[in-house]
Structure 1
Amino acid sequence: MSDALSRRMNPLERRATFSIASIFSTRMLGLFMIFPVFALFAEQEFSNVTGIQIGLAIGAYGLTQALLQIPYGMLSDRFGRKPLIQLGLIVFLIGSIICALAESIEMMILGRAIQGAGAVAAVLTASVSDLVREPYRLRAMSIVGITIGLSFTLSLVLGPLLAEFIGVRGIFWVIAGLALFAMLLVWLALPPITEQRFQREAEAIPSQLLQVVKNTQLLRLDVGVFILHAILTAMFVAIPFILRDEGGMDSMSHWEIYLPVMLLSFVLMVPLIIQAESCGRMKMVFVGAIAMIAITQLGFAVYQQSLFLLFILLLLFFTAFNVLEASLPSLVVKLSPADKKGTASGVYSSSQFMGAAIGGAVGGFFFQFYGYNGLFLFTMTLALIWVALAATMQKPMPWSIASVAVGPVLASEVAELEHKLCAYEGVFEAVVIADEQQAYFKIDRKLVDETALLEYFKQVREK
Structure 2
Amino acid sequence: MNSIEKRAIAGVGGIFALRMIGLFMIVPVFSVYGINYTHATPFLIGLAVGIYGLGQAIFQIPMSMAADKFPRKPMIFFGLLLFALGGIVAATATDIYQVIIGRALAGSGAVSAVLMALLADVTREQVRTKAMATMGLTIATSIMLSFAIGPMMVASLGISGLFWLTAVFAVLAMVLLLIVPTPLRVLKHNLANQSIGQQLKEVLRIGDLNRLHVSIFALHLTMTAIFVIVPHQLADILGLSVRQQGLVYLPLLFVGFAIAIPFIIIAEKKRKMRQVFLSAVALMVVALLSLAVGSQFSIGLIVGLGLYFIGFNLLEATIPSWISKKAPVANKATAMGINSSSQFLGAFFGGALGGVLLSQGTLTAWAILGGIMAVALLLTFPISQPPYLTSTTMAIPKQADISAWSQQVMETDGVDEVVVMPKDGVAYLKLDKQKLTDNSRQLLSQLTETKLDI
**Band of TM-score, shorter chain:** 0.7 to 0.9
1:86–1:183: 8 Å Cα contact kept in structure 2?
A: yes
Query: Where in structure 2 are the equivalents of 1:104-115 lying within 5 Å?
Result: 109-115=100-106
Q: Determine the structure 1 residue equivalent to 2:23.
A: 31
Q: Percent identity?
A: 33
Matched residue pairs, number?
420
Q: Determine the structure 2 residue equivalent to 1:387.
A: 377
2:16–2:138: 8 Å Cα contact kept in structure 1?
A: no
| Structure 1 Cα separation of the partners of residues 165 and 10 of structure 2 | 22
| Structure 2 Cα separation of the partners of residues 319 and 83 of structure 1 | 35
Task: Kindly provide the CA deviation profile for residues 276-329 of structure 1, in whole angstroms up to 9, marking residues without a partner as x.
Answer: 223343323222211221222223344433233222221111111001111112
Change (3 A) 1:374 1:76: same
Q: How far apart are residue 264 of structure 1 and its match? A: 0.8
- SS of the aligned residue for 1:118 comes to coil
Q: Determine the structure 2 residue equivalent to 1:156.
A: 144
Change (3 A) 1:271 1:129: closer
| Structure 1 Cα separation of the partners of residues 429 and 150 of structure 2 | 47
1:338–1:431: 8 Å Cα contact kept in structure 2?
A: yes
Q: Determine the structure 2 residue equivalent to 1:146.
A: 134
Query: Where in structure 2 are the equivalents of 1:123-202 lying within 5 Å?
Result: 123-125=114-116, 132=122, 136=124, 139=127, 143=131, 146-147=134-135, 149-167=137-155, 169=159, 170-186=161-177, 189=179
Query: Where in structure 2 are the equivalents of 1:354-369 lying within 5 Å?
Result: 354-364=345-355, 366-367=356-357
Please point out which of 243, 261, 265 is paired with 1:274.
265
Change (3 A) 1:28 1:449: farther
TM-score, with length taken from structure 1: 0.73
User: 1:284 and 2:275 equivalent?
Assistant: yes
Please point out which of 14, 34, 41 is paired with 1:22.
14
Change (3 A) 1:9 1:208: same
Q: Determine the structure 2 residue equivalent to 1:120.
A: 111
Change (3 A) 1:214 1:16: closer
Task: Kindly provide the CA deviation profile for residues 125-149 of structure 1, in whole angstroms up to 9, marking residues without a partner as x.
Answer: 565578x5xx758758954751452
- SS of the aligned residue for 1:112 comes to helix
User: 1:443 and 2:408 equivalent?
Assistant: no
Task: Kindly provide the CA deviation profile for residues 95-131 of structure 1, in whole angstroms up to 9, marking residues without a partner as x.
Answer: 334555667776655443332211123444565578x
| Structure 1 Cα separation of the partners of residues 81 and 371 of structure 2 | 39
Q: Determine the structure 2 residue equivalent to 1:89.
A: 80
| Structure 2 Cα separation of the partners of residues 147 and 399 of structure 1 | 22
| Structure 1 Cα separation of the partners of residues 272 and 180 of structure 2 | 38
**Structure 1 stretches of 5 or more lacking a match?**
1-6, 433-438
Q: Determine the structure 2 residue equivalent to 1:245.
A: 236
User: 1:229 and 2:217 equivalent?
Assistant: no
1:96–1:172: 8 Å Cα contact kept in structure 2?
A: yes
Change (3 A) 1:90 1:8: closer
- SS of the aligned residue for 1:257 comes to helix
Change (3 A) 1:358 1:147: same
**Structure 2 stretches of 5 or more lacking a match?**
395-404, 419-427, 447-454
User: 1:341 and 2:332 equivalent?
Assistant: yes
| Structure 2 Cα separation of the partners of residues 30 and 387 of structure 1 | 33
Q: How far apart are residue 265 of structure 1 and its match? A: 0.9
